[in-house]
Structure 1
Amino acid sequence: MLPTPEVKDIDYDKVYEPSEDSFLLLDCFEQEQDYIRKRFGNTSSPLITEIGSGSGIVSTFFAKHILPKSVVLTTDVNPHACQTTLNTAKQNQTENETLRLDAAQMNLTDAIRPKAIDVLIFNPPYVPASEVPDIPKDEADPTWLDLALLGGEDGMVTTWQVLNNLQTTLSQDQGVAYILFCARNKPDEVAEKMRRQGWQVDLIISRKAGWEVLSVLRFVRN
Structure 2
Amino acid sequence: MFETPLTNIDYDKVYEPAEDSFLLLDCFEQEYQSIQQRFTGRVPVVTEIGTGSGIVTCFIKQNILPHSIFFATDINPTSCSTAAETIKLNDTHETHPFTFTAMQMNLTSAVRSNKIDLLVFNPPYVPAENVPEIPKDLDDSSWLDLALLGGQDGMMTTWEVLNNLENILTPEIGIAYILFCARNKPDQVAETMKARGWKVDVVIHRKAGWEVLSILLFQK
**Taking structure 1 as the reference length, what is the TM-score of the superposition?**
0.96
Counterparts of 1:113 and 1:162 in 2: how far apart (Å)? 10
Q: Which amino acid aligns with 1:5?
A: P
Equivalent residues of 1:75, 1:109 under 8 A apart: no
- 1:54 paired residue number: 52
- 1:157 paired residue number: 156
- Structure 2, gaps ≥5 residues long: none
3-state DSSP class of the match of 1:121?
strand
3-state DSSP class of the match of 2:179?
strand
Counterparts of 2:148 and 2:46 in 1: how far apart (Å)? 23
- 1:167 paired residue number: 166
- 1:78 paired residue number: 76
Residue 63 of structure 2 corresponds to residue 65 of structure 1: yes
Distance 1:166 1:84, change over 3 A: same
Counterparts of 2:101 and 2:7 in 1: how far apart (Å)? 17
Report the Cα offset of residue 109 of structure 1. Answer: 2.4
Counterparts of 2:113 and 2:211 in 1: how far apart (Å)? 34
Counterparts of 1:96 and 1:50 in 2: how far apart (Å)? 22
Counterparts of 1:83 and 1:3 in 2: how far apart (Å)? 22
- 1:118 paired residue number: 117
Misfit runs of 4+, over 6 Å: none
- 2:101 paired residue number: 102
3-state DSSP class of the match of 2:212?
strand
Which structure 2 residues correspond to residues 1-222 of structure 1 after superposition, within 5 A? 1-8=1-8, 10-43=9-42, 45-94=43-92, 96=94, 100-221=99-220
Counterparts of 1:218 and 1:3 in 2: how far apart (Å)? 23
Report the Cα offset of residue 112 of structure 1. Answer: 2.9
Report the Cα offset of residue 42 of structure 1. Answer: 1.9
Report the Cα offset of residue 98 of structure 1. Answer: 5.7
Q: Which amino acid aligns with 1:158?
A: T
Q: Which amino acid aligns with 2:108?
A: T
Corresponding pairs, count? 219
Equivalent residues of 1:48, 1:120 under 8 A apart: yes
Report the Cα offset of residue 116 of structure 1. Answer: 1.0
Counterparts of 2:165 and 2:81 in 1: how far apart (Å)? 27
Counterparts of 1:60 and 1:136 in 2: how far apart (Å)? 27
Q: Tell me the C-alpha RMSD between the 2 structures.
A: 1.2
Counterparts of 1:76 and 1:201 in 2: how far apart (Å)? 25
Report the Cα offset of residue 97 of structure 1. Answer: 5.2
Instruction: Encode CA deviations 1:166-211: one digit per residue, 9 max, x unaligned.
Output: 0101001200000000000000010011000000000000000011
Counterparts of 1:196 and 1:96 in 2: how far apart (Å)? 44
Counterparts of 2:110 and 2:175 in 1: how far apart (Å)? 19
3-state DSSP class of the match of 1:73?
strand
Counterparts of 2:208 and 2:93 in 1: how far apart (Å)? 36
Q: Which amino acid aligns with 1:202?
A: D
Equivalent residues of 2:112, 2:164 under 8 A apart: no
Counterparts of 2:114 and 2:95 in 1: how far apart (Å)? 29
Report the Cα offset of residue 113 of structure 1. Answer: 4.8
3-state DSSP class of the match of 1:109?
coil
Report the Cα offset of residue 7 of structure 1. Answer: 1.1
